[in-house]
Structure 1
Amino acid sequence: MPENKEESEENMRKESLLTKYMRVVGVVALYWSVSISLVFLNKYLLKSDDLKLNAPLFVTWFQCVVTVGLCYLCSYIASRCPGSITFPTLMFDQKLSREALSLSVVFVSMITLNNLCLLEVGIAFYTVARSLVTIFSLIFTYFILGKKTTVPALVCCAIIIGGFFLGVNQEGESLDGLSVKGVIYGVAASAMVALNAIYIKKVLPSMDGDIWKLTYYNNINACFIFLPLILLTEVSELWNFTRLFDGIFWMYMCASGFFGFIMGFVVGLEIKVTTPVTHTVSGVAKACLQTVIAVMYYQEIKTALWWVSNLLVLAGTGSYSIVKSLEMKKDHQLLSNKVTDERSDQQEKQQLV
C-alpha cells in the first residue's frame, strides 16, 4: 500500500511538471505566433505589390484606434461580467492623459520609425536594422540615470555592434541592395524603443502601476498626435488609394490592430509564466525563426557572412540579458546580506543594553 501511495505521488509530480512544461511551451508558441504574424501583416500593409499603399502613418494611427476600442471593450466586459477577465475600469481623465503625453510623443516616434524601417527594408534584414536597442538602452541609462555598466555587458554590446555593421555590409552586397533610409530609420527606431522603456518606468506609477491603463492613455494621445501628421503628409495618398473601401483591406487592417493590442497581453503572459530573461531569450529565438521564415517566403539568397551577422546580433542580445540578470541577482544578494548584517548588529546592541 505505501508503495502504491509513493508511486501515485510520483505520478502526480510528473503530471504537474508536464502540465507546467506544456503551459510554458504553449505560451511561448503563442508569443512567437502573434509577434511574427504582426510583423508580416505590417509588411503587407506597408509595402506590398497587391496594395501599393504608401501611408505608414495612417496604418499606425488605425492600429492605435483599434487598441483604444479594444481597451474599452475589455473594460466593459470586466465591469459587466466580474471574474471573466481582469481589466481596469476606464474613465477618461485629462490629468492622466497629460501625465502620459511625454511618453506618447516617444511612443508615436517609436512605432512610426519602426514601420518606416519595415517599409524600407525586408523582414529578413529587419532584425539587424533594429538591433541597437540594447546599445541605446545602455547609453540612455548612463546619461539619464547615471548608471554605469560592467565589462561583460560592454563585451556583449560590442558583439551586437559588430553584427550590425557586418549585416549592413552584407546587405549592401546583396542583390536587393542596402536601403540607407531603412538603416537610418532602424537606428532611430532602436533609440526610441530604448527611450520608450525608460519613459514607461517614469510614467507607470502615475497609472497605479497598471500597464493596461497606460496602454489606453498612451494610444488615445497617439491617435490625436497622428492626425495632423496624416493630414499634412498622407491625405493625397489616401485619396488616390483605389482600395480604401475594400473589405479585404480593412480585414487586414483590423487584424493588424488586434495583433498589436494582443501583443501587450502575450508579452506580459510569457513573462508571468517564465521570467523576464527567458522572455528576452525567447524573443531572440523568435527573431531567428522570423528571419528564416522571411528568407524562405520571399525566396531570398543570403551569404554565409549575412547569416553570421544575424547570429552575432542575436547572440549578443541574448548574452546581454543573461549578464544583466546575473548582475541583478548579485546586487540583490549583496543588499539582502547587508540588511541581514544590519539586523544582526542591532540585535547584538540590544542584547548588550
Structure 2
Amino acid sequence: MSPPDEQPPSKATVAAVVIFYMVAAQAMIVANKWVLNTTNAPLFFLLMQLIIAVVMFAIANVLRILPERLTFDLKICKGLVSMVVLNVIGLSSSNYTLKYVDASFYQVARGLVLPFTIATSFIMLHSRPSIGILLSCATVTAGFFLGVFFDGTPLSLVGIAFGAASSFITALASVVIKQSLPVVNGSTILLAWYTNVLSSFVLLPLVLLAGEGPSVLAILSGVDVDLWTFLWGSAITGGVGFAMSIAAPLSIKTTSPITHMVSAASRGVASTFLGFWLFGDIISSGRAGSIGVILAGSIYYTWVKHKESEAVANGSYERVPMDELDIDAEIAKLEAGDRHRGDGEESPQVEESGK
C-alpha cells in the first residue's frame, strides 16, 4: 500500500505511462514477428533480447543516465524468484504464440487476459467482481472462442495454447509485479534490472533443453537464416525490450494491475491492422468479428469500472453478494473491501489489517 502522505499520480502521468507502455509493447510485437518468421529458435532469440537489454542497462548505469544506481544483491535475487519464473514463462509463451499464429490473430490468441486478470485479482487480492464486470468477461471470452472456432483460416492449436498460457501469465504477473516492488524498495528500475539479469541466467539452459542447439548453430553460421537479419532484429527488439522492461512495471506501479491489463489488451486492434499491412495476414470475417467482440467487451468493462468508481466515490456502491457468484464461502471471509485509487480506478488490491 502507498504511504498515507503519498500523492496519487495525476491523470496526465497515468496517461503518459500507459501510452508509453502501449507504444513500446506494440513495437515489440511487430519486431518480434518480423524475426520469428525467419527462425526456429524463439528461446535463443528471447535470450539475445534479454542480454542486449542487460547490456543497455549496464551502459546506462555507467553513464549515470538512470535515476538510481544499479546493484546486485543475492537477498533481492531470492525475493524475486517468483517474478523471474513468471517473466521467463510469460515471455517464452508470447514468443511461441507469435511464432505459430499471425500477428493479426495475436489479439484473439491472447484474448483471455481480461477474464484471467479478474479471476487472479479475486483469488490473490480478494477483489470481488460485480455482475457488470462478469458480463464483460463473458463477452471477451465469447470473442475468444468465436475467433478460435469461426476464424475460417487454418489455425495452429499450439499457437492458441501458448496464447492462452501467455494470457494467464500476463494476468498473474501484473499482480506479482505489484507484490515484488517492495523487495526492491518500490524501484521499477531495479525490478527491471534484476528481472532481465536473472531471466537471462534461467533462460540459457532452457535453450539447450528445448532442443534449439542445431537451430542456434544454423543461425550463427548463416545457413538457414541471414545472420545480419537476426542480429539487427535482436538489437531492435532488445532495445525495445529495454524500454518495455521499464514501461511495464512502471505502468503497474503508477496505475493498477487491471488498468495495466486494459492498456495491454488495447494494443491488439493495432496489431491486427499492422499484421494485415506488414505481413499480408488474412482478416477473415470470423477473425474480424472475434476482435470486435473482444474490443466491445473491453470497452464495456472500462465503462463499468468508471461507473463503479463513481459509485464508490459517492458512497453508494453495493457489492455483489458472494453467494450470487457461487464462490467458496471460506474465500468470502477474506474479503476486506477494495482500495479506491486516486487515479479514478478502483484497484483490486485489498487493505491488509494488522500489517
- TM (norm. structure 1) is 0.75
Distance 2:251 2:171 in 1: 20
Deviation at 1:164, TM superposition (A): 0.4
Distance 1:278 1:188 in 2: 20
Distance 1:140 1:28 in 2: 21
Deviation at 1:221, TM superposition (A): 1.2
Partner of 1:117: 97
- The number of residues matched between the two structures is 302
Q: Structure 1 residues 329 and 71, CA, compared in 2 at 3 Å: closer, same or farther?
A: farther
Partner of 1:130: 110
Report the residue type matching 1:150 in the other structure. Answer: S
Partner of 1:99: 79
3-state SS of paired residue (1:240): helix
User: Going by fraction, where is helix more abundant, 1 or 2?
Assistant: 1
Deviation at 1:310, TM superposition (A): 0.2
- Does the Cα contact within 8 Å between 1:101 and 1:218 map onto a contact in 2? no
Partner of 2:29: 39
Distance 2:257 2:158 in 1: 33
Query: Which residue, 156, 165, 169 being the options, matches 1:192?
Result: 169
- TM (norm. structure 2) is 0.75
Deviation at 1:314, TM superposition (A): 1.8
Partner of 2:273: 292
- Does the Cα contact within 8 Å between 2:102 and 2:281 map onto a contact in 1? no
Report the residue type matching 1:114 in the other structure. Answer: S
Question: How big is each residue's C-alpha offset from its partner over 1:49-84, in whole Å with a ceiling of 9 and x where there is no partner?
Answer: xxxx21111111111112222222222222xxxxxx
Report the residue type matching 2:187 in the other structure. Answer: D
Counting only pairs closer than 5 Å after superposition, residues 223-238 of structure 1 correspond to structure 2 as 223-232=200-209, 233-238=211-216
Report the residue type matching 1:112 in the other structure. Answer: S
Partner of 1:162: 142
Q: Structure 1 residues 42 and 238, CA, compared in 2 at 3 Å: closer, same or farther?
A: same
Q: Structure 1 residues 57 and 300, CA, compared in 2 at 3 Å: closer, same or farther?
A: closer
Deviation at 1:296, TM superposition (A): 3.0
3-state SS of paired residue (2:296): helix
Show structure 1 runs of 5+ residues with no match: 1-19, 79-84, 336-353
Q: Structure 1 residues 205 and 327, CA, compared in 2 at 3 Å: closer, same or farther?
A: farther
Query: Which residue, 111, 117, 126 being the options, matches 1:146?
Result: 126
Distance 2:252 2:74 in 1: 31
- Does the Cα contact within 8 Å between 1:124 and 1:291 map onto a contact in 2? yes
Show structure 2 runs of 5+ residues with no match: 1-10, 317-355
- Does the Cα contact within 8 Å between 1:38 and 1:256 map onto a contact in 2? yes
Deviation at 1:183, TM superposition (A): 0.7
RMSD value, Cα: 3.2
Partner of 1:62: 48
1:308 aligns with 2:289: yes
- Does the Cα contact within 8 Å between 1:281 and 1:318 map onto a contact in 2? no
